[in-house]
Amino acid sequence: MENTTEDVRVLDDFSTGSRSNLSHLDTDRARIINGDIREKATVKRAAKGVDTIFHLAAAVGVQNVVNNPLESLEINLHGTEHVLDAADSEMASTFIASSSEVYGKSDEIPFSEDGDRVLGPTNIPRWGYASAKAVDEFLGLAYQDERDIPVVVGRYFNIVGPRQTGEYGMVVPRFIEQAHSDEELTVYGDGTQKRSFTHVNDAVKATYELLQIEEAHGEVYNIGSPNPTRINDLAKAVIEATDSDSTPTHIPFEEIYGENFEEPERREPDVSKLRETLGWVPDTSLEKIISDILSRRQRGETDDE
């Protein structure tokens, strides 16, 4: 990604993050605004005069979504409405961060952007989150069609990297924390489920580049690693990388998330559309992802800094 000289505004309520994660930014160019995306006036003020918006705000983590379904829906639905309304006022190009969750429990692997979505019943909070993210996509594409606002939708697949916390259900930082303490690595379910772990650097690069390409406007893209990993293998990789005495232990999903929970067996993106548009796809290995997280820890920068 080329160096840029644009001024940046960051709107965040830091409910699932830390302001210190932004302490390395050039404060002459980056203005940090502490505010809630559910407040329309706050979003309007933050977007005043901008020409580009990267809408990355959302409820974070399966645990959070299960425990706080109403808040999750409000953030994802009302927040996106407010962002797009502000984008319309400023005629700002907008990237909307969606999720692999929109595919639900489809068995058409790998997931293609134009494939059918298969969701479970409405009494399971996970599918409420998946539905909200899909509505976000519909809203964004409608604004492009009716208001001529350039919009790109990116469906992220398990973005991980330094500074991420395991507090809200993210498995990689949770495993690393447990391994460093020589605790048992808690694997939910039988551990055979597969996920595509994507380095945050790859996700950022793809996100930025897509919005700069006119042919990508009005399109939906999978952004993720095409190489899925079993959770059992992830646990082994973390134990080896940390030289830990930890061992994996398996816990039924219902003990963590309650009886009303469903876990898809596999999440793998078809990235051929992304490759055709960008000329590359995320390819950072799981070993490199783990190494980058550990390197930051060794420098004294923990996941919640």
Burial class (CB in 10 A: 0-12, 13-18, 19+), 161: buried
3-state DSSP call for residue 167?
Answer: coil
Query: Would you call 105 exposed, middle or buried from its count of C-beta atoms within 10 A (0-12, 13-18, 19+)?
Result: middle
Residue 173, φ and ψ in degrees, nearest 5: -65, -30
Query: Hunting for tokens 């406007």 — which residue is that?
Result: 217
Exactly one of 103, 129, 156, 188 is catalytic; name it.
129
Render the burial of 21-44: b for 16+ CB within 10 Å, e for the rest: beeeeeeeeeeeeeebbbbeebbe
Determine the Cα–Cα distance for residues 247 and 13; give it in Å rounded to an integer: 37
As a whole number of Å, the CA-based R_g of the chain is 19
Active site residue 188: no
| 266 DSSP 8-state letter | B
Residues taking part in catalysis: 129
